[in-house]
Structure 1
């Protein structure tokens, strides 16, 4: 019976993951469409990537924005579906279809504000939340990312650098299509969206690794576990210059706990060596289970 239950749970898990991903992509597309059609587009402010090109073409031709978003992104999906993986490709195609639908649905709705600065700030934030949500659950809403992944295989630049290169020209083109002040507002909206994406993808509790070398390693480790509720690992090290044996305290904390950790180390051993670095992802263990005192 237990074996049957385990097999059923294993079968349900992929379906649950698919459902969660689909809901996240729908919500992300909804947020992005809101940022575009309710804030940015009515005030002639554009986003970067294929979406930015679609906004300008829609303005020049008078055709719906959703139509251009779908048609311009479609070739990149077929071009990169083998290289980017089946799951990511399907998630991206689904997101683009939903985004195209929502932008067409929201187009008749009047802008929330005519204040260009407010529209830029809130449009960038809402758009960033949408894009970040989709990225966090393994999809994308713009073909520029797929193109950058393909180009990245043949050039010595990161995906982020390639996307930034494209967006410099796309956002600059807004100056010719609309006006130069609108181009500058577009850059501002892009920066706000970019930073918002970081917060959504990584979270306010972004993980960090901490390495502490101290003769009072045991005491520091005990206090970290007691006051931060974080597990620690003691590693064996050797000083390259002196040849002395050293104990290294390793732990994973959140960004909000970094100041507390520094205070703990300073109180116990002001001469201790402390190094803190960002971590892209943490899985397993009991990292999420904490008891802060």
Structure 2
């Protein structure tokens, strides 16, 4: 498995963000919003002697094999790392910053902030073809074989844990947790969609050939050229169309404005691109 430093850094950032959301907002409020984290919270409530971080570690080991078998070695390897890192960070936080009660005595505020922060972290991790183990692995398997958005797949995987949490922590907390699972699915899918968003650019310029060569050779993206007649001028022009990411769009825009300030550019957001030159991380 080839080591990818950028991927490694992003996974670490995602895990840290997720751990902060879970530990600061969800755990103190007993909001078991699914996953091994929610499962560990339930177990910790029944058996207080068992630390949440340790329970998460043990539970995750039982699901690693599934990740290796059904998703692949790369996913399995990064998932092992992510899950142990998350468990370790939470365990360290339990020792150095013990939080027994919610920092804000409002379930809804804890739920909203916890889910937003946790969902952002999970979205980053999922986008890097990794997970934090547990039900995340089940969600990834559902996503792979049934082509269901990862957030919705996680919702299916976590539903029964939230029901169990309702029996342990009471129906009020259980319903809040269920709401959290639904919101978490929405946040994750939107974070991933944000990473996948591309820009569909149409350029009308007098420097068509120069711009076209710049996009092909400097940006390393393909283009499509259209022949069009101006509705008012009746002049025939060649229109450039291409699909790029946000960074590449800024480069193209700056270049076009530099060589042809009168160029006409239209931009649309594209949430999925399939084909040559594009993959999950392009």
**Other-structure match for 2:65:** 78
The aligned residue for residue 98 of structure 2 is 109
Closer, same or farther in 2 for the Cα pair 1:141/1:169, shift >3 Å?
same
Residues 115 and 137 of structure 1: CA distance in aligned 2, closer, same or farther (over 3 Å) = same
Structure 1 position 92 matched with structure 2 position 79: yes
- 38, 43, 60: which one aligns with 1:52: 38
Aligned: 1:184 with 2:182: no
Give CA deviations for 1:211-261 in whole Å, capped at 9, x if unaligned. Answer: xxxxxxxxx7527x99xx99752479xxxxxxxxxxx98643779x9xxxx
Question: Is the 1:145–1:159 Cα contact (8 Å) retained in structure 2?
Answer: no
Calculate the aligned-residue CA RMSD, in Å. Answer: 3.8
Give me the whole-angstrom Cα distance separating, in 2, the residues matched to 1:283 and 1:178: 51
CA distance in 2, matches of 1:196, 1:125: 7
Structure 1: where are the runs of 5+ without partners?
1-13, 211-219, 237-247, 258-274, 286-293
Counterparts of 1:153 and 1:278 in 2: how far apart (Å)? 19
Please state how far the C-alpha of 1:201 moved relative to its aligned partner: 2.4
Taking the aligned partners of 2:195 and 2:141, their CA distance within structure 1 comes to 31
- 2:154 is aligned, of 138, 144, 163, to 163
Determine the C-alpha separation between the residues in 2 that align with 1:162 and 1:135: 12
Alignment TM-score, normalising by the size of structure 2: 0.67
Match of 1:146 in 2: 137
Tell me which residue corresponds to 1:207.
198
CA distance in 2, matches of 1:153, 1:54: 26
Relative to structure 1, the CA distance from residue 281 to residue 207 in structure 2 (aligned partners, 3 Å threshold; closer, same or farther) is farther
Task: Give me the TM-score of the superposition, normalised by structure 1.
Answer: 0.64
Map 1:1-293 onto structure 2 (within 5 A).
15=3, 17=4, 19-62=5-48, 63-107=50-94, 108-110=97-99, 111-150=102-141, 158=148, 160=150, 162-203=153-194, 206-207=197-198, 222=204, 233-234=224-225, 251-252=242-243, 278-279=271-272, 284=277
Kept in 2, the 8 Å contact 1:47–1:190? The answer is yes
Q: Is the Cα contact below 8 Å between 2:193 and 2:271 reproduced in 1?
A: no
After TM superposition, give the deviation of residue 93 of structure 1 in Å. Answer: 0.1
Aligned in 2, Cα 1:190/1:206: closer, same or farther, shift over 3 Å?
same
Q: How many residue pairs get matched? A: 231
